[in-house]
A = this chain, B = another copy of it.
């Protein structure tokens, strides 16, 4: 997670913010006869000479996305791979291949690099994918660039949610954030949440199943449930209303909440990096195993904007984590 930075004034990336700038630099993108889904979703969908694939990329920087004193190289590799495999999961696809670009200081033990690579291979193996290429260079801090490719016969976008749909989630929420808070206070337990922060366990089984069940929109929860459903709400032009009574608050979150004085519900709503999936389905529908209904999709009231509500009201506080704030 990021060191806090002061915004150095107008016209800088700090001023415009990550999402605003991504919008600006990708507006030239869009679709073409080769690009079926362009920038702006969990993954792009590209036509080849003989078929299609989906692709997504992430750039992780030491001190912002991981710390070498909090995680082993193996854990960092697994988590970086998981974050990307999750993007293909969120399109309703199955990942097949990863590439890894690695920048490391010249005094890095080569054993550290070998362990990192092992972490990538281990996590990729969970879904049957392989690391097929890489690049290495010297840099002052560790930088890990990951690109994942996969098959998605029926890619599920962020923009397909319709009023009347149900909202459902699969996978853990709030565990990684609880682990991060624990580490941040200098503790090493509860081990379950610390482990979850170090190596997430995305619900890889859930994405393709949701696509097959006709999910209308889907996203992975990398920045926080409210933040990521916000992307769905805006892309679909709808209001997403979550019912807190339907959200599961797992036992370790209650433990951490009590020990550290944190609101467990807030961890569930705003914690990122567990790589759960959130999707919308036409109602009534039979959801695939492991999916839980947690809310509904509604029309945007006249004069209002697409938004995510919690029990019908605006959530007070940050919806999720941002770069450069």
User: A residues near B, CB below 8 A?
Assistant: 2, 5-9, 11-16, 18, 21-22, 24-26, 28-29, 32, 34-35, 37-39, 43-44, 46-53, 55-61, 64-65, 96-97, 99-111, 113-114, 116-118, 121, 128-141, 143, 145, 147, 149, 151, 153, 323-324
Contact = CB atoms under 8 A, between A and B. Distances in A.
Contacts of A116: 25
Counted per complex, copies of this chain come to 2
B323 A136 contact: yes
A35 B130 CA distance: 8
B137 A107 contact: no
B18 A136 contact: yes
A110 B11 contact: yes
Contacts of A149: 46, 53, 55, 149
A312 B7 CA distance: 60
A131 to B, nearest CB: 6
Interface-centre pick from A25, A35, A50, A136 (highest chain B CB count, 10 A): A25
B110 A48 contact: no
Contacts of A51: 48-52
Given A13-B104, A110-B21, A113-B21, A46 B136 contact: no
Contact of A134 (B25, B49, B107, B110): B25
A59 B132 contact: no
Given A18-B136, A60-B137, A99-B55, A29 B110 contact: no
Contacts of A8: 106-107
A34 B96 contact: yes
A115 to B, nearest CB: 10
Nearest to A97: B46
Contacts of A114: 21, 24-25
A296 B104 CA distance: 38
Contact of A324 (B18, B38, B106, B145): B106
